[in-house]
């Protein structure tokens, strides 16, 4: 049975009859999960930032990287001393303070927030007080997630093969603390993730969106829009991209490259040059589309995992948008052995990679001199000058390095408010009622 976002609501006690400014800001934390359409949704949000702001939905920060940096701060991710990026200490406090400036609602989105521990979740929610915090999780059938996550592991520098990686996931699946023993389960043990967030956020503020089995970007966006309380129309989806998986031959080529890379290559260098250039820009665009499939014996296990998850969602009482049947694997997911990587396909991938790296090296050695943009009309020139003075490269880098200090964090939030003017870009968005009765339930679907 499809779980629709249709509700019979009772008025919130103390509500001012649809006056959003008298209610606390709502902050939606889109915490993943990875490989479930998160890249597409993030692109959609950022590509339509102005249109959403006009409807009262604010994206804190200046771009997606600000949300990544905030997540790194929240999760205490280590920073290598050779990393060219500025330190991220204090970034979560800056981003959440900007979110609290939203007149109606704000969205924070990073798929690796799914890996947060309870201590990190407690800090995340505390920093958003007194906002009404909502958590959004997008889910996808496990038979589709597993191959996608393996190639993502390879894209991040690992050299583990498909069968070996899958064996590690299945062997830890039954462990009660599997999030502590597996990077995969740290971000895909949905029941455990939900339980951690529900210790700090009420169940009716936890929204679970299922990803359509057959790619339907429009439907996925409509489901997120329903959670945010905005109409899906008038949003441009044409520029949004999904983080498409690599083909088997391309993944195998990259895996072999990783085997031969020196161990002292820092993660930040790999991410900027190998992952971004080879994996994202080159290998992902190759025509090969073969994907590794689940061994036939694993299909029953995946079905069991989907049934357990459906029951747990029912018991948790969270808000479901979509169809839990979409979490059940397709019979076509198994029965086909992982295809062998054809040498000819890997040669094509190697040639394309060499060409891309040569082009990148040339651009670094001989950068193109771009003509200076004209200042334009006086008002436009004044806005450009304002941005250069308040958020130029040197100012931005200096403030980031000082963001472990409260004064620097407050100054950054003040600058963001001046430049982005969140309070001027809004139309009232109806607040989601606190007391709801869902039409359709997970128990009926399970």
- Top pLDDT among 407 and 253 is at 407
Average the pLDDT over each of 77-81, 142-146, 177-181, 361-365 and give the range with the smallest value: 361-365
Helices (H), 299-342: 299-316
| Cα separation, 208 vs 226, whole angstroms | 12
- The pTM of the full predicted model, rounded to 2 decimals, is 0.84
Q: Average pLDDT of 374-399?
A: 82
At residue 441, the pLDDT reads 31
Average the pLDDT over each of 78-92, 284-298, 395-409 and give the range with the smallest value: 284-298
At residue 359, the pLDDT reads 84
| Cα separation, 221 vs 54, whole angstroms | 18
At residue 435, the pLDDT reads 31
At residue 84, the pLDDT reads 85
- Top pLDDT among 334 and 123 is at 123
pLDDT in tens, 69-84: 999 999 999 998 888 8
Q: Which two tokens stand for residue 53?
A: 């702001």
| Cα separation, 67 vs 108, whole angstroms | 7
At residue 138, the pLDDT reads 98
The candidate with the shortest Cα–Cα distance to 61, out of 95, 27, 30, is 95
pLDDT in tens, 14-72: 333 333 345 679 999 999 999 999 999 999 999 999 999 999 999 999 999 999 999 99
At residue 433, the pLDDT reads 38
CB 217 within 8 A of CB 237: yes
Residue 432 pLDDT greater than 50, yes or no: no
Q: Average pLDDT of 366-382?
A: 74
For the chain, give every residue range classified as CATH 3.40.50.300.
2-244+291-334+415-445
Its CATH class, for the domain covering 2-244+291-334+415-445, is alpha beta
Q: What percent of the chain has pLDDT over 70?
A: 84
pLDDT in tens, 190-233: 999 999 999 999 999 999 999 998 878 999 999 999 999 999 99
Q: What percent of the chain has pLDDT over 90?
A: 58
- Cα 1 to the chain's mean position, in Å? 27
Query: DSSP E strands: which ranges in 53-181?
Result: 57-58, 105-109, 132-139
| Cα separation, 211 vs 323, whole angstroms | 9
Q: Residue 322, SS3?
A: strand
Residue 431 pLDDT greater than 80, yes or no: no
Residue 9 pLDDT greater than 70, yes or no: no
Q: What is the mean pLDDT of the chain?
A: 84
């Amino acid at each position: 049975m499809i779980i629709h976002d249709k509700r019979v609501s009772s008025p919130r006690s103390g509500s001012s009859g649809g006056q959003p400014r008298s209610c606390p800001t709502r902050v939606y934390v889109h915490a993943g999960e990875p490989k479930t359409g998160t890249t597409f949704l993030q692109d959609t949000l950022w590509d339509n930032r102005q249109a959403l702001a006009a409807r009262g939905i604010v994206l804190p920060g200046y771009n997606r990287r600000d949300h990544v940096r905030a997540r790194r701060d929240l999760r205490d991710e280590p920073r290598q001393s050779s990393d060219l990026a500025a330190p991220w200490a204090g970034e979560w406090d800056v981003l959440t303070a900007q979110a609290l400036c939203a007149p109606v609602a704000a969205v924070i989105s990073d798929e690796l927030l799914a890996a947060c521990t309870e201590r990190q979740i407690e800090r995340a929610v505390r920093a958003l007080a007194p906002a009404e915090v909502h958590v959004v999780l997008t889910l996808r059938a496990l038979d589709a997630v597993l191959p996608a996550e393996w190639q993502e592991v390879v894209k991040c520098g690992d050299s583990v093969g498909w069968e070996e990686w899958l064996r590690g996931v299945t062997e830890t699946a039954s462990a009660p603390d599997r999030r502590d023993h597996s990077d995969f389960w740290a971000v895909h043990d949905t029941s455990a993730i939900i339980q951690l967030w529900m210790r700090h956020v009420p169940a009716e503020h936890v929204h679970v969106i299922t990803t359509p089995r057959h790619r339907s970007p429009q439907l996925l966006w409509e489901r997120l829009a329903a959670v945010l309380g905005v109409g899906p129309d008038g949003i441009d989806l044409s520029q949004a991209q999904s983080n498409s998986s690599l083909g088997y031959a391309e993944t195998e080529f990259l895996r072999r490259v990783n085997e031969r890379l020196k161990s002292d290559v820092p993660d930040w260098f790999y991410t900027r040059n190998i992952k971004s250039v080879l994996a994202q820009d080159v290998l992902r665009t190759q025509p090969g589309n073969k994907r590794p499939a689940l061994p036939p014996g694993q299909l029953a296990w995946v079905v069991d995992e989907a049934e357990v998850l459906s029951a747990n969602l029912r018991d948790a009482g969270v808000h479901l948008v979509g169809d839990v049947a979409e979490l059940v694997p397709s019979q076509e997911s198994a029965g086909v052995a992982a295809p062998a990587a054809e040498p000819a396909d890997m040669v094509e991938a190697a040639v394309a990679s060499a060409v891309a790296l040569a082009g990148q090296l040339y651009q670094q050695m001989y950068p193109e001199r771009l003509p200076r943009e004209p200042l334009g009309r006086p008002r436009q020139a004044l806005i450009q000058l304002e941005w250069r003075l308040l958020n130029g490269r040197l100012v931005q880098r200096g403030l980031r390095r000082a963001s472990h200090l409260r004064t620097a964090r407050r100054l950054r939030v003040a600058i963001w408010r001046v430049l982005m003017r969140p309070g001027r870009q809004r139309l009232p968005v109806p607040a989601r009622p606190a007391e709801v009765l869902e039409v359709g339930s997970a128990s009926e679907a399970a």
